[in-house]
Amino acid sequence: MRHIQGDARQQTTLLPDTLDDYINEDHPVRVIDAFIDTLDIQTLGFSKATPKTTGRKPYHPADLLKLYVYGYMNKVRSSRRLEKDCHRNLEVLWLMKRLSPDFKTIADFRKDNSKAIRRACQQFIQFCRQANLLGHRLVAIDGSKFRAAASKDQALTRRQLREQRKRVEHLIDRYLQELDKADTQEPAIGLDHQHVQQALQTLKQEKAQLDDREAAMDARGSHQHCATEPDAKLMRSGREGMVVGYNIQSAVEAESGVIVHHEVTDEAGDNRQLQPMATRAQAELDTDTLDVIADAGYSNGEQLANCEEQGITATVPSNRSMNNRGNHYQKSDFVYDAEKDQFTCPAGEVLSYTTHSTKDKMHLYSRTGCHRCAQQSRCTKADKRWISRHFYEKAFERSEQRLKANPGLMTQRMAIAERPFAALKHVMGIRRFLCWGIDGVQSEMGIGILSYNMKRMMNREGVPTLLAALREY
């Protein structure tokens, strides 16, 4: 035979003397091992870090964390698959030192150590900062929707709940009417009372469940509820449409591409996330000043102003609505006089301060007598024209000026902020969470981001450089 032949399985071979010989000195798995060995597992708050003096000995949390980081880095998230890899994967055999925990032990570790895993993720950022592997100038903030473990069929809005309750109540009334009608008829025209009573019982149980779900909405102050995973929310996610999931926020350092901070939120919008994310990113980078870029979903005047007070310069496109009706006058056609606190219209008339809206955070300016103006047709159909000015209009203006001065910032933002999410979803396979509830999701996301950051640094700096830095850390 001219094919390449393998060795006989019964042939004696001279294998390497130690397991360590199978793993190259510059193998990525050595970085996982070296970094996690630097962690103070007990201080970080991992469960079973201090074993009990009696009972069965537990696995060390550091070993289980190594297993998960390796798994997520290689698109293996299932605890059952990780259990199999402990027996057959040479890299895992080396990393785990031939330990082979069962899938339940592996799964429980992820479920029980949400906060500790998050602290470990922060510890890697601290290591990168102390090793001078991070920049300190620019951070891009972005959010992305990730599907929850729960099915979309288990989620109800208040409108859907009212419709279902109306349907159930209608059927209950119908069955009760049929029972009343049957009682007045001859026995020969009777009704299957047992069948009707069973149906009524089922409908009453369904109504009680709907009442419980409405009570859960009221308790949370929410307009929707997912029966199997109350923490998850219905959200719009690009091409996927409406999904039950979580809004994951990330702050990515521009120079290194590392996620320096992340949050798991159940809010569909990003409008309230700018300042919290920017503040945490500033703290993680340990810097007094920071430039932040984000898309229009983060447009919030109050938070823009608060960021400036903290030494954070945020550039965010405005998402405020505009009147685009033909040649009609826009707000930009009205000149604001800050000293007199008034607007001047294109016809030279003054719009004075009239009132304000605390809810919308707007100062309102107006003038009457517009029906006598020759330019009314281009301005308003009413006798009074209104102009609004946001409480934090100056913060909006400064942000817009920065964007005009550097129009390429939004393209830069896209390249910085969206790449990590693409890697997490498409390369690492975190499209849908395996864990239930926000604590489980935080744990899973923490492992995913720690794995991404380590992989990112290995690709950027090289394994030998990273190992040398870890030995000095």
> In sequence order, what DSSP letters do the residues of 167-226 get, joined into one string?
HHHHHHHHHHHHHHHHHTS-GGG---HHHHHHHHHHHHHHHHHHHHHHHHHHHHT-SEEE
**Contacting residues for 21 by C-beta, under 8 A, at least 6 apart:** none
**How far separated are the first and last CA of the chain, in Å rounded?**
56
* Per-residue pLDDT at 327 exceeds 60: yes
Q: Could you give the CA distance from residue 246 to residue 251 in angstroms, rounded to a whole number?
A: 16
pLDDT the model gives residue 188: 44
Look over the chain and give the mean of its residue pLDDT values, rounded to a whole number: 87
* Per-residue pLDDT at 281 exceeds 90: yes
Maximum Cα interatomic distance, the chain, rounded to a whole number of Å: 105
The token pair at 187 is: 């026995």
Q: Could you give the CA distance from residue 320 to residue 343 in angstroms, rounded to a whole number?
A: 19
Q: What is the DSSP string of 105-158?
A: HHHHHHHH-HHHHHHHHHHHHHHHHHTT-S-SSEEEEEEEEEE-SS-GGGEEEH
| pLDDT tens for each residue of 12-65 | 666 667 888 888 888 999 999 999 999 999 999 999 888 888 888 889 999 999
Question: What is the average pLDDT across 170-190?
Answer: 68
**Contacting residues for 411 by C-beta, under 8 A, at least 6 apart:** none
Nearest Cα neighbor of 465 from 95, 136, 133 is 133
Q: How many residues does the structure list for the chain?
A: 473
Q: Could you give the CA distance from residue 344 to residue 231 in angstroms, rounded to a whole number?
A: 50
Distance of CA 182 to the CA centre of its chain: 57
Instruction: Count the helices and strands in the chain (H runs, E runs).
Output: 15, 13
Domain ranges of the chain: 19-112, 138-149+232-319+398-447, 153-226, 331-391
Nearest Cα neighbor of 259 from 145, 110, 142, 146 is 142
The winner for highest mean pLDDT among 54-58, 155-159, 319-323, 434-438 is: 434-438
Q: Could you give the CA distance from residue 330 to residue 44 in angstroms, rounded to a whole number?
A: 56
**Contacting residues for 19 by C-beta, under 8 A, at least 6 apart:** 93, 94, 97, 98
The winner for highest mean pLDDT among 68-82, 211-225, 366-380 is: 68-82
> 443 to each of 108, 234, 295, 434, how far by Cα in Å?
11, 21, 27, 11
Question: What is the average pLDDT across 374-384?
Answer: 82
Lowest-confidence region among 45-49, 151-155, 384-388, 451-455: 151-155
| pLDDT tens for each residue of 227-273 | 788 888 888 887 778 888 999 999 999 999 999 999 999 888 898 99
For the domain made up of 138-149+232-319+398-447, the CATH class stated in words is: alpha beta
Are 176 and 452 a contacting pair, CB within 8 Å? Answer: no
pLDDT the model gives residue 313: 93
Q: Could you give the CA distance from residue 467 to residue 28 in angstroms, rounded to a whole number?
A: 9
> 15 to each of 22, 88, 96, how far by Cα in Å?
10, 17, 20
Question: What is the average pLDDT across 97-111?
Answer: 93
Question: What is the average pLDDT across 147-167?
Answer: 82
For residue 417, report the phi and psi dihedrals to the nearest 5 degrees: -85, -30
Ramachandran region, residue 437 (left: φ > 0; alpha: ψ -120 to 50; beta: rest): left
pLDDT the model gives residue 207: 81
pLDDT the model gives residue 111: 92
- Rg of the chain over Cα atoms, rounded to whole angstroms, equals 31
pLDDT the model gives residue 176: 76
Q: What percent of the chain lies above the pLDDT cut of 90?
A: 49
Q: Could you give the CA distance from residue 337 to residue 348 in angstroms, rounded to a whole number?
A: 13
Nearest Cα neighbor of 258 from 31, 457, 467 is 457
The larger pLDDT score, comparing residue 175 to residue 414, is at 414
For residue 341, report the phi and psi dihedrals to the nearest 5 degrees: 55, 60
The winner for highest mean pLDDT among 50-64, 79-93, 146-160, 175-189 is: 79-93
pLDDT the model gives residue 193: 67
Lowest-confidence region among 84-88, 131-135, 184-188, 395-399: 184-188
Lowest-confidence region among 213-222, 337-346, 439-448: 213-222
Q: In sequence order, what are the beta bridge partners of 358?
A: none
The winner for highest mean pLDDT among 142-146, 147-151, 365-369 is: 142-146
pLDDT the model gives residue 381: 83
The larger pLDDT score, comparing residue 33 to residue 380, is at 33
